[in-house]
Structure 1
C-alpha cells in the first residue's frame, strides 16, 4: 500500500453524505461505479479538510457487492479508469458542468487492490458541505443490483421527510441517466420503476409508491409517495444543516457522552482512533467495563482491546466482557414487570439467539457458534442465578 493511503472500510453502517446538488444532477453512472463512489464517500470524515487517498480491496468489494464475475479484477481496472474520465452533467443551477469523479486511480497489479482519490473539484459535493445534503447508510445501496435503483433511492431519500415528490417524466429519465432506453412508458415502468420499487422496498430503509399524472392522453409526470421502511433496520437520516452543525459527528458526541457517564474525559482524537474499529465495538466494550472496578485504566484497556476485536483475535478477557454483555442484555429483557415471589428459569434455547447474535459482532459466525457451544450452559446458569437473586 502506498505511503499516506488509507484502507477503504466497507461497513453497512458507514455514512454516505452527498450534496443535494449532485444528487439532483443529471448524469449516467454504472452500477459498480456508483457503489465505488458511495463507498469512498462513506469513508470521508466530517473533520477532513481535503480528500484522502484510499486503497480499495477488489476481492472484498466483490464479496460485498455480491458480484460473481470471474473478470472482476480486470473489470475493476476498467471501472476506475472510467471514473477518471471527464463527464458532463447539469448542476442544480441548470449549468452544464464537466468534471471527473477521480483524480487518481491506480490498479495495483498482483496486489488485488486499487488506489483511488476523489477529484478536488468534487469538494463542494462531498466535503465540508455548506448546503443541503442527504446522509444515508452505505448498507442501503451496496446490495442493490440496478444502477437505476441506486439513483432513485438517493433522489427519494433526499425528500424522505416531505413524503411526496413529483418529477416530470422527462426530468426523471434525465436524472436516472436512462437516455434513449425504454422509450415506451410500459417498458420504462416495468424495467425501471417497478423493479426499483421492489428492490428498494426489500433492501433499503424507505419504501415508495407512485402514481402517474397525464397531460392529455400522454403521461407527463410521476408522483412518488415515500415513507420509512419498518422491515429494514438501517439507521439513516437526512441532513439539512450548515457545516458547523455537521462537524460535530454524531458518533463522537455519543461516545463522549457515554465517557462522561463513566467518569472518563475523552478527547475527539482518542474517540476517532477508537471509531475506526466500529461504533458498535466501542460502545459494547465501554458498557462491558462500566461497572468493573478491576479495570484501573479504562482508556488504555479499550485502546488495547479494540484492535483485537477488529481482527477477530478476541482475548479471553475480552471474551468474558462480551459474555457479560449477553448476560446483562438477557436479564434486562426479562426483568419482571411487577413484584413476584418466584420466577421461571430461562432455558438455554431462549438465550442462544441473543448470545450468538452478540458474539457475531466480534467474531465469525462459526466462532460465535463455537463459543456458545463451549459457554452456553455457563451463561444460562449465570443468568438464572442473577435473576433468582433479584427477588431475594
Structure 2
C-alpha cells in the first residue's frame, strides 16, 4: 500500500454524522482519490472507487467489496452531516449538508462513482488553515464505526496530546449515535466507548485512555489522553548499516526524507519542526538529518519499512 494520506479540514474532523463502517471507508478512499488527482476537484468532479481497491486496502473478500459498493448507492446518497462554520463577522453557524450530490455504481466494472456535495469539497481540498492528516493504514483494521470516528476526533489534538472535555450529547453526535441509541450509560460504555478504545489501542499508532466528568452522580462528558506509540529506534548492530549509510545518495535522502515526513511516528517525535502542515520543508530537513550517521541509524527501521532496499 502506498503512503496514502487522508486530509480533512478540522471542521470535518469534528463534524457530527452517522456513517456505517463501509460508508466511512468509501468516503476515505474518495478523499484520497481526490488528493491524488493532482488537478484539484470541484463539485462536478467524478471520483472512482474500484471494488478490488476496497478489498485489498481493507482486507475483505471481493464479494464483500462488491456488496459494500452496491449498498453505498442505496444509503450513502441519503447520509447527512453537520459542522460549525464561521462567517466574515465571526458568527458561528451550523451547516447541514449531504456527503454526495451524485453517486453511481457500474456493475460491469464493479466501480463506484462519487461526486462530493459542494459543502464537502472545500473541507477536503482548501486546507491552508486548520487541518488534520493521517495515513489510511491507521484505520484499515478498525471494524467499529465508532472507533474510526473516535480516532479522528482524538488525533485532531495530536499536537496537544489530550482532548479536552467534550459534553456528552455533543460527543454522542460526533461519533454518530442517534438520540435513542445506547441511552443507558452502562450500555454506551460497553457497546460503544470501550470497544472503540480497545480497537484504537490495538490497531492504530496511538494509545488512549478516557476520563469521565460528572455533575453530581451524572456523567456529563468525557476527555481523552493519548500518546503516540514509540518509534522502534533500537537497531541491530549490523556492520552492514554503515555500508547502507555510505551508499545512500542525495536523491535517496530527499526521496525518503519526503516519505518520513508523512509518517505519523516521525511527525509526533518532531512536531515542533513541522510548521503549519509544511511537509515539503519537513521532508527536506529530514533529508539533511539522514546525512548524519546517528540519525540514519535511528531512522533505519523506518527506512526499510518505507521501501529502502537492504
Provide TM-score, normalisation by structure 1: 0.56
Q: 2:169 — aligned with what?
A: 170
Q: Which residue of 2 aligns with 1:250?
A: 280
Q: What's the counterpart of residue 25 of structure 1?
A: 15
Q: Deviations over 1:15-40 (max 9, x none)?
A: 11101111111111111111111122
Distance 1:361 1:226 in 2: 29
Partner Cα distance (1:18, 1:75) in 2: 23
Return the alpha-carbon distance in structure 2 between the equivalents of residues 170 and 213 of structure 1: 13
Matched, 1:235 2:263: yes
Q: How does 1:362-377 map to 2 (within 5 A)?
A: none
Change (3 A) 1:138 1:124: same
| Inter-CA distance 32–256: structure 2 relative to 1 (3 Å threshold) | same
How far residue 102 of structure 1 moved from its aligned partner, in angstroms, is 2.3
| Structure 2, unaligned runs of 5 or more | 87-91, 233-259, 289-295
Pick closer, same or farther for the CA change 1:78–1:160 going to 2, 3 Å: same
Distance 1:196 1:86, change over 3 A: closer
Compute the displacement of 1:157 (Å).
0.3
**Pick aligned residue for 2:123 from 99, 119, 125:** 125
Distance between the aligned counterparts of 1:89 and 1:359, measured in 2?
38
TM superposition shift of 1:167: 1.1
- What secondary structure sits across from 2:16 in the alignment? coil
Q: Distance in 1 between matches of 2:306 and 2:220?
A: 50
Confirm or deny: 8 A CA contact 1:46 1:127 kept in the other structure: no
1:146-175, Cα deviation, whole Å (9 max, x unpaired): 110010000000012212221122211111
Q: Does 1:224 align with 2:217?
A: no
Instruction: Measure the CA separation in 1 of the matches of 2:195 and 2:204.
Output: 14
CA distance in 1, matches of 2:19, 2:110: 23
CA 1:130–1:61: 2 relative to 1, 3 Å? same
Separation (CA, whole Å) in 1 of partners of 2:200 and 2:30: 22
> What is the correspondence of 1:328-367 to structure 2 with a 5 Å cutoff?
none
Name the counterpart of 1:212.
212
Q: Residues 105 and 205 of structure 1: is their aligned pair in 2 closer, same or farther, counting only changes over 3 Å? A: same
Deviations 1:302-327 (A, max 9, x none): xxxxxxxxxxxxxxxxxxxxxxxxxx
Partner Cα separation in structure 1 for residue 212 and residue 276 of structure 2? 38
Alignment RMSD (CA, Å): 3.7
SS of 1:64's partner is helix
Render the CA deviation track for 1:248-290: whole Å, top value 9, x for unaligned: 6539x848997xx9xxxxxxxxxxxxxxxxxxxxxxxxxxxxx
CA distance in 2, matches of 1:91, 1:64: 31
2:110 maps to: 112
- What's the counterpart of residue 156 of structure 1? 154
Go from structure 1 to structure 2 and tell me whether the alpha carbon gap of 1:222 and 1:160 turns closer, same or farther (over 3 Å shift).
same
Give the counterpart of 1:97 among 95, 98, 102.
95
Q: Distance in 2 between matches of 1:34 and 1:102?
A: 13
For residues 341-360 of structure 1, the C-alpha deviation after alignment (integer angstroms, 9 at most, x for no partner) is: xxxxxxxxxxxxx9xx9699
Q: C-alpha deviations, 1:53-75, integer Å up to 9, x for none?
A: 33222123123223348454243
SS at match of 1:219: strand
Aligned mates of 1:137, 1:359 — CA distance in 2: 14
Instruction: Name the counterpart of 1:142.
Output: 140
Q: Show the counterpart of 1:39.
A: 29
1:292 maps to what in 2? none
The answer to which structure has the higher strand fraction is: 2
List runs of 5+ in structure 1 lacking aligned partners.
1-10, 262-331, 334-353, 363-367, 369-378, 380-392
Quickly say closer, same or farther: Cα 1:114–1:184, change in 2 above 3 A: same
Hey, what does 1:50 align to over in structure 2?
A: 41
Q: How many Å apart are 1:98 and its aligned residue?
A: 3.1
Choose 38-47 or 194-203, whichever is displaced more: 38-47
Bigger relative contact order, structure 1 or 2, given CA contacts below 8 A and separation 6+?
2
Give 1 or 2 for the bigger CA radius of gyration.
Answer: 1
